[in-house]
Amino acid sequence: MTPVHFNSNGSRAERLAIILNQTELNKLGGSLDMSEAAQRLLQVDRAQAVVVKCGAKGAWVYVAGADPHFVPAFRSMRVFKIGTGDVFTGVFAHYWCERGENAVQAAMAASEAVSFYAETRRLKIAADQREPVRSTNVRVSVFSSGVTLADRLLREEARSALISLGAELVELPSSSLNPDAGIDSALVLADGDPRISLSFVQRARLAGVPTVVFREKGRLPSSKSAKTFYSDDFSTAIYHTFWVPSLCGKSFSTTKTEHRGPVG
């Protein structure tokens, strides 16, 4: 689907904010440079604000005559994605249109509301204060102990999902998992051989690498570790793999101002 400009069909508005993801921005703004594309929308559509959603990293807010402002994503213990885009847009509209907040304040409230909704599947306009996630370029390795076709398909789906969030994938044999491996986090797909999966987790723990263990079958371990997170939900495991370096204060990478993928 090709996005079109707001005024292309004769639409008019007294105040206009455009909310879209970066792929849509690149197409509509005619540039791969986020700032350049956003500035074009501000001019062509005479918008007061352009909000660019960047998935697990957060969003950028562009307002005419001002520097762009970054709004972080907020951590949720579980991540239910269906409907998050509608929640973001609806809450932004409430704060920007009804309450008269500026675009940055409205986007911040919308991002917090998305975090609450993704975790609880309930809408709360004024969400409780939540934990922001620092935006980084995350280097990730995916480990799988499974050998079946289903295991391989799951591994490829996990890799694809992480790339869509903006992660950089690093192919790393388990024997090379050490403090100098140069990765920020690891995702272990643990529904294959439990002994091999446990070995991956132990190596990661010794190397000090924050690790997310996805296990859909059987019970999750009751014991917890400061840098080992368990989940039986695939979407949650993917997002937490992207977030854990920030939460654990570990990152080999640098913060970037260009992001890919949708927030909500």
C-beta separation of 66 from 56 below 8 A: no
Q: How sure is the predictor about 145, in pLDDT bands with cuts at 50, 70 and 90? A: confident
Tell me what pLDDT residue 256 has.
Answer: 33
pLDDT at 113 over 70: yes
Share of the chain above pLDDT 90, in %: 57
- Residue in the structure block whose two tokens are 């807010």: 61
Top-confidence residue, 260 or 38: 38
The CATH classification number of 6-120 equals 3.40.1190.20
Backbone angles phi, psi at 217, to 5 degrees: -100, 140
pLDDT-derived band at 140, boundaries 50, 70, 90: very high
Tell me which residue of 73, 115, 85 sits closest to 246, measured CA to CA. 73
Predicted pLDDT at 249: 63
Name the pLDDT band for 162 (thresholds 50, 70, 90): very high
Please, is 52 exposed, middle or buried when counting C-beta atoms within 10 Å of its C-beta (0-12, 13-18, 19+)?
buried
- Domains of the chain: which residue ranges? 6-120, 139-248
For 209-240, what is each residue's pLDDT tens digit? 899 999 988 777 765 677 899 999 999 999 99
What is the side-by-side strand order in the sheet with 58-63? 17-21, 49-53, 58-63, 69-72
Task: Match 């559509």 to its residue by tokens.
Answer: 45
The answer to whether residue 168 scores a pLDDT higher than 70 is yes
If pLDDT is split at 50, 70 and 90, which confidence band does 134 have?
confident
Question: What's the pLDDT at 39?
Answer: 95
pLDDT of 179 reads 65
pLDDT of residue 263: 53
Mean pLDDT rounded to a whole number for the chain: 86
Average pLDDT over residues 241-254: 67
pLDDT band at 121 (very low <50, low <70, confident <90, very high): very high
For domain 139-248, which architecture applies?
Answer: 3-Layer(aba) Sandwich (3.40)
pLDDT at residue 97 is higher than 90: yes
For residue 84, pLDDT over 90 is answered with: yes
